[in-house]
């Protein structure tokens, strides 16, 4: 199931970046169907950090953001930040990223409230005054980044079950269960996810926004 979902998502996202028509991904509801957090982010930037066990600096890309819970209830903020690189690879943020990289970013940004993703994850209190500043970090996949996307999940509670029929998504209106209480067929759970598109042309150290949209992923 994961393999199917990932391959279809990558193909569609690459098509969005290149302008090629591909399999249509279901669109989220045009009207709010669940809670949604207020999210603002800056364009990704590049930073060089010399780690304690290395003699030469290593390149990382990072994206700072602010998230606030202006819904009527407390929410669990359980985000994921996936970078879709120009070569089609998907990189989950903050995997194996040393603490020294976060420290260097915080010093550069001069934001005393900035927190690593591991600490910002969890209970998010209500109110604009409870907003949290965080950062997602990736090791640089390629010096020439080109066009890439960042998918931010965990900002909304909207999700739907789908099946894939003849290469197309089909929404499941009713899940049929077997005698053991398990679905009779393999289903795919898609969540409302924010897709942010960027381009870092040449050897630039900052990406330029190319637009954004909500997708089911």
- Report, as an integer, the average pLDDT of 73-99: 96
Compute the distance between CA of residue 115 and CA of residue 109 in angstroms, rounded to an integer.
12
Tens digit of each residue's pLDDT (9 = 90 or more) over 81-91: 999 999 999 99
Instruction: Please name the residue that has the structure tokens 């954004």.
Output: 212
What is residue 4's three-state secondary structure?
helix
Compute the distance between CA of residue 216 and CA of residue 11 in angstroms, rounded to an integer.
14
| Sign of the CA dihedral running 212, 214, 215, 217 | positive
Average pLDDT, rounded, for the chain: 88
For 78, phi then psi, to 5°, come to: -125, 75
Q: Regarding beta strands 146-153 and 188-200, do their DSSP bridges make them parallel or antiparallel, or are they unpaired?
A: antiparallel
Grade residue 171 by pLDDT with cuts at 50, 70 and 90.
confident
Compute the distance between CA of residue 120 and CA of residue 143 in angstroms, rounded to an integer.
29
Tens digit of each residue's pLDDT (9 = 90 or more) over 106-140: 999 999 999 999 999 999 999 999 999 999 999 99
pTM, two decimal places? 0.84
Residue 81 Cα to chain centre, angstroms: 3
Q: Which domain holds residue 107?
A: 2-216
User: CA torsion angle for 24, 28, 29, 32 (degrees, to 10)?
Assistant: -170
Q: In 10 A of CB 196, how many CB atoms?
A: 21
Domains of the chain: total: 1
């Amino acid at each position: 199931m994961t393999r199917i979902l990932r391959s279809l998502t990558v193909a569609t996202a690459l098509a969005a970046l290149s302008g090629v028509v591909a399999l249509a991904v279901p669109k989220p509801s045009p009207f709010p169907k669940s809670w949604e957090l207020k999210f603002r982010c800056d364009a990704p930037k590049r930073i060089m950090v010399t780690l304690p066990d290395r003699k030469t600096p290593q390149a990382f890309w990072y994206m700072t953001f602010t998230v606030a819970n202006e819904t009527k209830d407390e929410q669990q903020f359980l985000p994921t930040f996936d970078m879709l690189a120009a070569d089609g690879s998907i990189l989950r943020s903050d995997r194996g990223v040393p603490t020294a990289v976060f420290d260097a970013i915080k010093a550069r940004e001069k934001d005393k409230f900035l927190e690593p993703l591991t600490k910002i994850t969890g209970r998010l209190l209500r109110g604009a005054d409870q907003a949290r500043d965080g950062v997602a970090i990736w090791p640089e996949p390629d010096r020439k980044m080109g066009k890439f996307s960042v998918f931010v999940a965990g900002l909304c509670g909207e999700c739907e079950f789908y099946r894939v029929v003849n290469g197309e998504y089909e929404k499941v209106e009713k899940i049929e269960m077997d005698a053991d209480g398990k679905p009779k067929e393999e289903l795919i759970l898609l969540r409302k996810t924010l897709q942010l598109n960027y381009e870092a042309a040449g050897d630039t150290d900052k990406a330029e926004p190319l637009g954004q949209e909500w997708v089911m992923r």
